[in-house]
Amino acid sequence: MSTVVETRYASSPEAVKKYDTTELRNEFLISNLMQKGKVNLTYSHYDRYIAGSAVPEEPLKLETIDPLKAEYFLERRELGIINVGAQGSVEVDGTIYVLQHKDALYIGKGTKEVIFKSDEAKKPAQYYLNSAPAHTHYPTKKVSLAEANKLELGSLETANHRTVNQMIIGGVVTTCQLQMGMTELKTGSVWNTMPAHVHDRRMEVYFYLDIPEGQSVCHFMGQPQETRHIWMQNHEAVISPPWSIHCGSGTSNYTFIWGMAGENLDYGDMDVAKITDLK
């Protein structure tokens, strides 16, 4: 089988308070991504969000999976893709979109066939995938990293100078509820998403990349007064429930892709937790 699927159920904040390290990682960490020749998908019961990857040595087709009970994968869904590997292409109902390193592609509801390809099998594309339920069709659109809406945030003095690349988001791409982008930390900065926040009307998934060999990122989650941490390696993702903060600090600078879905498309819809109030 070229497609591997795992289901994660929702956990309440009261339950998570009692989790040990293994339970916390089993519930929220996605560590099976970027395996050559496979499509790996994790189906979360938080907003029915799917996070996964496709690494084609030979062309890989996006097949429907049992939890969807659908004739084809995007029958009732939309899909966001960001290529974090070498150049490749994605064939969408016969139309080919070339994706270079860190280019994004949005594919709308009702698309019947999606095929992932690499230009070179020995240097494959590495497609990071996010998908959410969709109520209507919006056109497929490619967004290069250069075309992203860029926000410069933080400062070197507070170790969080970063560029937020808004890629699949209102004003750049029209979607039903899916939003994706990529945040790149500057050399010397290690903190992301600080001050931390929650947004009760949508969930989020973080995918960490560009972590140098031998380095790690410590991802913080949980309620602001009851935080937990998960140590993460390159090309791992973490599910962030609506009630949880999501921020991290690395032993080096790095990049992460954020994806989210839920009730609201307002990027600024968040409840900020004061740094001095975190516990």
pLDDT of res. 271: 83
Closest CA to 250 of 213, 216, 227: 216
Quick one: pLDDT band at residue 199, thresholds 50, 70, 90?
Answer: confident
Cα separation, 91 vs 172, in Å, equals 21
User: Using one digit for the tens of pLDDT, what is the confidence trace for 144-197?
Assistant: 999 999 999 999 999 999 999 999 999 999 999 999 999 999 999 999 998 998
Contact 33, 42 (CB under 8 A): no
Enclosing domain of residue 101 = 3-277
pLDDT of res. 247: 96
Quick one: pLDDT band at residue 265, thresholds 50, 70, 90?
Answer: confident
pLDDT of res. 131: 98
Q: Which two tokens stand for residue 34?
A: 């970027």
Cα separation, 57 vs 153, in Å, equals 37
Quick one: pLDDT band at residue 266, thresholds 50, 70, 90?
Answer: confident
| pTM (2 d.p.) | 0.96
pLDDT of res. 1: 62
**Binding-site entries for Zn(2+):** 197, 199, 204, 246
User: Using one digit for the tens of pLDDT, what is the confidence trace for 91-138?
Assistant: 999 999 999 999 999 999 999 999 999 999 999 999 999 999 999 999
Specify the pairing of strand 255-262 against strand 179-185.
antiparallel
pLDDT of res. 267: 76
Residue 200 has pLDDT above 90, yes or no: no
Query: For the chain, what is the domain count?
Result: 1
- Beta strand residue intervals within 66-148, DSSP E: 77-83, 88-92, 95-99, 104-107, 114-118, 127-133, 141-143
Angle, CA 159 vertex, CA 29 and CA 31 arms, to 5°? 15
pLDDT of res. 159: 96
Mean pLDDT of 58-72: 97
Residue 139 has pLDDT above 80, yes or no: yes
Buried b (16+ CB within 10 A) or exposed e, 91-127: ebeeeebebeebbbbbbbbbbeebbbbbeeeeebbbb
For residue 274, the one-letter residue type is K
Closest CA to 54 of 45, 67, 72, 41: 41
**Binding-site entries:** 197, 199, 204, 246
pLDDT of res. 225: 96
For the chain, give the mean pLDDT.
Answer: 96
User: Using one digit for the tens of pLDDT, what is the confidence trace for 226-254?
Assistant: 999 999 999 999 999 999 999 999 999 99
Share of residues in the chain with pLDDT > 90 (%): 92
- Domain of 124, CATH number, reads 2.60.120.10
